Amino acid sequence: MKASGHRMGRLRPKMRRYRAARTVCARSLMTSLAFILGVVPLAIATGAGRGNAPIAGNSRVLRELGVTLFGLLFTPTFYAVVQSLSRRLPRVGRHTAGSRVAKSISEGMGEKR
């Protein structure tokens, strides 16, 4: 019986990128959700000691929602733009393993050739 291809190594590169993005998105959402849920008591505060708590809670909840939405939308876009530009621009300052600079760096780190 053949394996179903559930390991990342057996998936196509496009599917691996999709799964990695989904994992990062889930972690980001869980972190934001934890913060938002932690601030909800401030937003719904009632009683004699509430003071300015609802104002502070509402502003923090709304700010975190905005940051989360913008982060989920713009971070992948920014990454794609930077990757596209890095492919198009000439490589400047890259040192190959055989260059004098790479050799001097490796010698300085205690590696012997």
- The pTM score is 0.55
pLDDT tens track for 6-19: 555 577 877 887 88
Q: How far apart are the first and last CA of the chain?
A: 47
For residues 106 and 113, is the Cβ–Cβ distance under 8 A? yes
The pLDDT assigned to 1 comes to 43
Domain range list for the chain: 8-108
Tell me which architecture the domain covering 8-108 has in CATH.
Up-down Bundle (1.20)
CA angle 40, 41, 43 (to 5 degrees): 60
Backbone angles phi, psi at 37, to 5 degrees: -65, -30
What's the CA gap between 77 and 80, in Å, rounded?
A: 5
Residue type, 104: S
Percent of the chain scoring above 90 in pLDDT? 18
Q: Which residue has the tokens 């198009």?
A: 88
The pLDDT assigned to 99 comes to 60
Does pLDDT of 56 surpass 60? yes
The pLDDT assigned to 5 comes to 46
